[in-house]
């Protein structure tokens, strides 16, 4: 029983980390649909470094996250003139390209995925990363960069008039969000011990938006609460085989109707 609860809590913690990365991007006013793909890219990178080069666990995860951040920054720069629905389509296409690449990359297992990854992720290092991340973000949203990020999301034209470099800030936010999601991806790879192209798919991105939407798209704490709430809900509904999907959808719809901004609202304290 204890092992089962630890597995659920560890998985929820990893999902929370990846969702926090998505929240950072959304809070900058960008509608990204590729954070799951960037987390998967980091997962493949971290796993490859551990398997083929024998690098230490922490270094592999950090390098995987760094690659995700670099790719995210490059993608944001390329899509700097796109907004809303058009940015979502562009990032969705990028994610689909990544899935296709890994499905055909035989050196990394192709469609069967990359297996035999060393099991280095534990409950304790997942929550150590999550706690450190939340502490840093708590300080970040009170910094000049954090306030500028909120201003950018509220009104990009007004933010530009106040001297904020809109493009540079969007690229930095996208890179930061990709790095955080990449950390979650690297932890996931060393926990599941196998990574498959489906881990980068649009289906996984929908799960991230569910976590963020239920918890609150404008709050880091909302991402954490959403990931844990849906993890608990999924386990509670395991008693049914078919009905649980109906109940799950109805409960989600009820939450979104009663709390359209999510369970946690943004109340930044700006000193």
Query: Is 169 domain-assigned?
Result: yes
Domain count, the chain: 1
- Looking at residue 156, its pLDDT comes to 77
Query: Is 248 domain-assigned?
Result: no
* pLDDT greater than 70 at residue 86: yes
- Looking at residue 153, its pLDDT comes to 76
Determine what percent of the chain is predicted with pLDDT higher than 70.
94
- Looking at residue 241, its pLDDT comes to 65
**Which domain covers residue 106, as residue numbers?**
21-202
Give just the sign of the alpha carbon dihedral 193, 198, 201, 203: negative
Query: Is 167 domain-assigned?
Result: yes
Query: Is 150 domain-assigned?
Result: yes
Spacing of C-alpha 68 from chain mean position: 11
Render pLDDT for 117-160 as a digit per residue (tens, 0 to 9): 999 999 999 999 999 999 998 888 788 887 888 788 777 778 77
Confidence class for position 254, pLDDT limits 50, 70, 90: confident
Query: Based on the number of CB atoms within 10 Å of its own CB, is 191 exposed (0-12), middle (13-18) or buried (19 or more)?
Result: buried
Query: Is 70 domain-assigned?
Result: yes
The SS3 call for residue 114 is strand
Query: Is 254 domain-assigned?
Result: no
Query: Is 89 domain-assigned?
Result: yes
Render pLDDT for 199-225 as a digit per residue (tens, 0 to 9): 888 888 888 888 888 887 778 888 898
């Amino acid at each position: 029983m204890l092992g089962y609860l630890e597995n659920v809590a560890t998985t929820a913690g990893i999902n929370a980390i990846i969702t926090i990365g998505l929240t950072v991007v959304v809070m900058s006013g960008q509608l990204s649909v590729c954070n799951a793909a960037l987390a998967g890219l980091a997962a493949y990178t971290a796993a490859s470094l551990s398997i083929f080069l024998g690098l230490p666990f922490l270094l592999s995860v950090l390098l995987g996250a760094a690659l995700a951040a670099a790719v995210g920054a490059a993608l944001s720069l390329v899509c700097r003139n796109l907004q809303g629905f058009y940015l979502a389509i562009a990032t969705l296409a990028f994610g689909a390209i990544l899935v296709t690449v890994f499905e055909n990359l035989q050196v990394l297992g192709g469609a069967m995925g990359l297996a035999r990854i060393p099991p280095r992720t534990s409950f304790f290092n997942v929550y150590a990363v999550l706690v450190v991340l939340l502490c840093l973000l708590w300080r970040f949203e009170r910094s000049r960069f954090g306030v500028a990020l909120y201003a950018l999301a509220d009104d990009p034209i007004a933010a530009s008039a106040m001297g904020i470099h809109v493009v540079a800030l969007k690229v930095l936010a996208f890179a930061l969000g990709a790095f955080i999601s990449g950390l979650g991806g690297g932890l996931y790879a060393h926990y599941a011990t196998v990574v498959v192209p489906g881990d980068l798919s649009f289906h996984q991105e929908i799960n991230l938006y569910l976590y963020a939407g239920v918890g609150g798209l404008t709050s880091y704490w909302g991402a954490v609460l959403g990931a844990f709430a849906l993890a608990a809900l999924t386990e509670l509904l395991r008693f049914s085989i078919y009905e649980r999907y109906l109940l799950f959808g109805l409960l989600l719809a009820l939450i979104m109707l009663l709390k359209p901004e999510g369970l946690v609202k943004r109340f930044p304290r700006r000193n």
